[in-house]
Structures are given as C-alpha cells and as structure tokens.
Amino acid sequence: QVQLVESGGRLVQPGGSLRLSCVASGRTFSSLMMGWFRQAPGKERDFVAAISDNGESAFYADSVTGRFRISRDNTKNTVYLQMNSLKPEETAVYYCAGDRAPTYAVSTSYAYWGRGTQVTVSS
C-alpha cells in the first residue's frame, strides 16, 4: 500500500508562483508513474501533469504547458509541481496520484491518491 501526502498549497496572488510537494510512503515509489490533478468546487477532477517512474518523461495539460513543471526525487520519495504565472481560475484542491501503469491523464486509472492541498489564487 502507498500513502501520499501533499503539501505546499496556500493563498497566492495572480501571477505568483508556488511549489507543491507530495511525499509517498513505502518502497515502491520509484516504480510508480505520478500525476497531479486538480478539482475546483462543483467541477470535475482535471489532469494537470504526470511524470514517468524514472522522471525521464513528463506530460502536461495544454492549459499549464510552459508555466508548470513536474519533477521527482526518487531518493526522497517525493514528486513536485512547480507552478508559475498562476491564474485565479486555477484555484482548486490539488491532488497527487500514483500508479504502476496508468493512462496518465485519466484520474480513474490511478490507484493511489493523497487528500489534496488547497491552492487559492486571489488578490
């Protein structure tokens, strides 16, 4: 079993930056593809970014390409999401997810989920 714990969410001004972290328990982290999803109130959970188990491949939603960067440190069992030029419409709970072989942009294909961290983009 893998447990995921996100951190780093807070209130940030439009145009600001934020880095989210997700720490995984267990010994299997380096074999998992990891993803970040977000869910705004009343909306579906949307794909944001994903990274392969060895960190060599990364995938992004069109809306965040060029502004967000996903990375991982397998020695620390941690995946990161660097978010730049944040917009108010990106206010949401951000979730970390992991699975051995997910369809990276499909939330239902991930077995492991954290509880989320709130990101609020507002002046």
What is the reported pLDDT for 26? 80
- Indicate the residue type of 44: E
User: Is 7 within 8 Å of 119 (Cβ atoms)?
Assistant: no
Span 16-55, pLDDT tens digits: 999 999 999 987 999 999 999 999 999 999 999 999 999 9
Q: Are strands 11-12 and 112-113 parallel, antiparallel or unpaired?
A: unpaired
pLDDT at 83 over 90: yes
User: Is 94 within 8 Å of 48 (Cβ atoms)?
Assistant: yes
What is the reported pLDDT for 27? 78
User: Is 86 within 8 Å of 106 (Cβ atoms)?
Assistant: no
